[in-house]
Structure 1
């Protein structure tokens, strides 16, 4: 069983976010189970997916009133640095950092999803934001000042 199996407890009620999160969990499980020969390619796939995943969330935050340096976006940047460092180490033949980060991500992700991402999902729902079109159906609910925290003060 993977260190982080997908469960209904990770669902946030925003289908596009839930799908992306399930893909992340699945890629993490594949990386965890990978042999040394296939791990670097799977890790690169996880890095690419996570880069797109975070870019989407960052775009939604910016479009709906989050400050550029908000805590959620800052955490995304830090995690991506760690993922990219792992990819660089794997390219040098050192897989130990990736193996460690897989375990750490399995602990980090549920907390991130259930706090920062849950707050973002509620915020997006509150303003009627459609991530597909990039439009808010309830613009009157957009914050008057840029949010700098995690979105729970929206």
Structure 2
């Protein structure tokens, strides 16, 4: 049984983000239940999804005044480095570290979604952005950059 389940607590009220997050949770569950022989390919699918997922959010932040120097973008970069390292390890047959990464991602993701992503979703909704597609309504607008992430630990 997967450690992380999709729930209303993870919903942000922005369809495109919620759909992407739901897919992340599903891919993570597949990794968790994947037999050893399939784990490298399943993990790589999670990595590809997450590269697209984080890339889209990072683009929205750049386009709408969430400065690229904020800790949300930095956290995306660090998590992707770890995921890519997991792919390298899995290709070498080192699956236990990847299974530990699955466990840690299941702990990390709800906090990330409920703090950093929730702040981004609120920012997008308040900016007149397209709530169905997530397309920013004010690309290139002159707004003061937001350099915090929405989390209490960021300054």
Q: Which stretches in structure 2 are left out of the alignment for 5+ residues?
A: none
Q: 1:86 deviation in Å?
A: 0.3
CA contact (8 A) 2:14 2:134 kept: no
Q: Does 1:150 align with 2:149?
A: yes
With normalisation by structure 2, the TM-score equals 0.90
CA distance in 2, matches of 1:61, 1:151: 13
Post-superposition shift, 1:8? 1.4
Summarize the alignment of residues 29-40 of structure 1 with structure 2, pairs less than 5 Å apart.
29-40=29-40
Identify the residue that residue 69 of structure 2 maps to in structure 1. Answer: 69
Q: Deviations over 1:71-112 (max 9, x none)?
A: 100000000000000000011110111100000000000000
* Partner in structure 1 of residue 106 of structure 2: 106
How big is the shift at 1:65? 0.4
Quote the Cα distance in structure 2 between the aligned partners of 1:148 and 1:94.
38
Separation of aligned partners in 2, 1:133 and 1:24: 17
Runs of 4+ residues over 3 Å off in structure 1: 131-135
Determine the C-alpha separation between the residues in 2 that align with 1:44 and 1:135.
29
> Partners in 1 of 2:84 and 2:124 — Cα distance?
29
- 1: CA distance, partners of 2:34 / 2:81: 22
Structure 2 residue aligned with 1:28: 28
Superposed displacement of residue 135, structure 1: 3.8
| Residues 129 and 136, structure 1, Cα contact 8 Å, conserved in 2 | yes
The equivalent residue for 1:136 is 137
Aligned length: 149
- Unaligned 5+ runs, structure 1: none
- Could you list the per-position Cα deviations for residues 118-137 of structure 1 after superposition, in whole angstroms to 9, with x for gaps in the alignment? 00000000001127473416
Instruction: Verify the 8 A CA contact 1:63 1:134 in the aligned structure 2.
Output: no
User: Is the contact between residue 24 and residue 50 of structure 2 (CA under 8 Å) also seen in structure 1?
Assistant: yes
Quick one: structure 1 residues 10 and 143, their matched pair in 2 at CA, closer, same or farther if it must change by over 3 Å? farther
User: 2:96 is matched with which residue?
Assistant: 96
| Distance of 1:21 and 1:34 partners within structure 2 | 20
> Hey, what's the Cα distance between the residues in 2 that align with 1:51 and 1:38?
20
